[in-house]
Amino acid sequence: MTKDENKQLEQLEKLNQGELSQEIENLTKRALVIHRSIQRVKYERSVLNQNIKDYQSEFDEIMEKIAFLKEPNLFNQKGSDDVSPATL
C-alpha cells in the first residue's frame, strides 16, 4: 500500500469510529429514555395496585356491613312476643 492509501484507510477507520461512537451515544440515550419510562410505568402500576387493594378492602367492609344488617336481630324480627322499642 502507498502512503496515500494508508492515510485514506486511517481516515476511513476514524470516520467509522466516529459513526460508531455516535451510534453508541444514540442507543444509550434511547436506552435511558426506555429505562425511565419503565420506572414510571412500574410506579404507576404500584399506585394502581395499592388503589385496587384499598377499594377491595372498602368493598369487603361494606359487604360485611350489608350482610350484618340483613341478619335477623331483635329489632327487625316479627312475632307475637316481640317487644318494639316504641312500646317500652
Q: What is the pLDDT of residues 36-49, one digit of tens each?
A: 999 999 999 999 99
Task: Give the distance, in angstroms, between the CA of residue 13 and the centroid of all CA atoms in the same chain.
Answer: 46
Identify each DSSP E strand in 1-88 by its residue range.
none
Rounded to whole angstroms, the Cα distance separating 88 from 86 reads 6
Task: Give the distance, in angstroms, between the CA of residue 79 and the centroid of all CA atoms in the same chain.
Answer: 55
The residue written with cell numbers 404507576 in the block is 44
3-state secondary structure of 13: helix
Whole-model pTM: value is: 0.54
Query: What are the tens digits of pLDDT across the range 53-87?
Result: 999 999 999 999 999 888 887 766 665 455 555 55
